[in-house]
Amino acid sequence: MEGNYSCHDERGTLLQSIKLRLGHPPNFVRVSCRVPNHMKIYCSWVQTKTTHLPTLYRTSYSVNKGREVEPCEQEHIGVNECMISNPPFWTSKFLVNITEINPLGSNSTIIQIDAHELLKPYPPEDFRVLQVEGQPTQLLVQWSCPSSWPAEILSAFPLTFSLRYRPIGSSYWSTLETEDNTSLKIMDALVGHLHQIQIRAQDALINHSQWSEWSHVVEARPWIEPLEEPTEEPMDFSFPFFNLSFPVRTTDKSPDSSFHQNGSLGLLILLGLFAAVMVSVLLTIITLLR
C-alpha cells in the first residue's frame, strides 16, 4: 500500500524511513510535431499520467497508413523527442507512433499529422534596416534566410517574405511581400519619424503552410538632411546701428564768440549801475555836510 514506512528501535528511536509509491502501467502520451523545413519533422511528447517507474519509448512512423514502418530517431536519451529525417516529398500524411514501455507493460499512442499544414520556418535572421542617403521617405530592409531553411533546398523550395512597418505611435501596420529575395525598400516612410519594422517567412509553394513567427522589432528613422552649422563671423561695427560717432553740424558763428559778446554787454550794465549808486551816495554825503 502506498505511504511512508519507518522502523524504530525498542526505545522508539527512528532507525530508517522510506516512502513507497505505487507504480502504474503506461498510459497514452500527448504528442505534438513541428516541421521547420522539408527535410526534418520533429515530434515530442509528455506523459498524461506519471507511472513512477523506469520508462522507455519506442518511436516510429509510417506513410499513409502503410505497413512499412520507419524509425523516428531519438537523438538524445532522456529527451522526449524524435526526428524523421528526409520524409518522402510525394506525401504529406504521416502516422507517428509513440509507445511507452515500463515493467508493468506498454501502451502506444498513434497520431496522424499533415506535414504541409505543420510546415513553419524559423523567422528570418540578420535582420537590419538602413537609411537611404538623400531619401527622407525611404528605408532599406535586409535579412538572411532562416537557419532552418538550408541553402541547398532554397532553389527547390523558395520562401515568401512578408514585411510590416509603422511609425511609432501608430496602431496600423503597412505590409510588403517579396519572393526569393532578401531585401526590400520602404518607399513611403514618414519623414523624420522613428519606425518599427518586422519580417516573417513562409514556404512559397505551399500556401496553406504556416508563416514563421515575426522577427524581433527593429527601429529605424529615415535619412534626415543635416542642418548647416552657422559660421562665426567678426561683428562689423560699421553698421549704422552700432555707429557711435554722430556728425556735428557747424554754424558760421561759434559758441565762443556768442559767449564773449553776451559777457561784454553784461559787464557794461553792471558798471552803469555801480556808477549810479556811487553818484547817489556822494549826493547824500554832500547834503548831510551842509
Q: Does residue 67 form part of some domain?
A: yes
Please say which residue of 220, 244, 273 terminates a domain.
220
pLDDT in tens, 35-47: 999 999 999 999 9
Q: Is the pTM of this model over 0.75?
A: no
On whether both 92 and 165 belong to a single domain, the answer is no
The helix (H) or strand (E) run that includes residue 148 is none
How far apart, in whole angstroms, are the C-alpha atoms of residue 2 and residue 21? 5
Please say which residue of 187, 220, 253 terminates a domain.
Answer: 220
CATH of the domain at 210: 2.60.40.10
Cα 252 to Cα 241, 256, 261, 263, 265, distances in angstroms: 30, 12, 15, 20, 21
User: What pLDDT was estimated at residue 137?
Assistant: 96
170 CB neighbour count, 10 Å cutoff: 13
- Asked if 159 contacts 179 with a C-beta cutoff of 8 angstroms, the reply is yes
CA distance 146 to 154: 10
Q: Which residues contact 150 (CB under 8 A, 6 or more apart)?
A: 37, 39
Residues in the chain: 290
Same domain assignment for residues 184 and 207: yes
Structure confidence at residue 9 (pLDDT):
73
> What pLDDT sits at residue 212?
97
SS3 153: helix
What's the total number of domains in the chain? Answer: 2
Instruction: Please give the full DSSP string across 65-115, using - where no structure is assigned.
Output: T-S-EEE-B--STTS-EEEEES--TT--EEEEEEEEEETTEEEEEEEEEEH
* Domain shared by 43 and 105, yes or no: yes
Helices within the chain (DSSP H only): 115-118, 151-154, 255-289
* Whole-number Å distance between alpha carbons of 183 and 129: 10
In angstroms, the Cα distances linking 12 to 3, 15, 17, 56, 87 are 20, 9, 13, 42, 66
At residue 258, the pLDDT reads: 47
Q: Which domain range does residue 56 map to?
A: 29-114
* Residue ranges of the chain with per-residue pLDDT less than 70: 1-3, 20-21, 65-66, 229-267, 290
What pLDDT, on a 0 to 100 scale, did the predictor assign at position 166? 97
Residue 5 domain-assigned (yes or no) = no
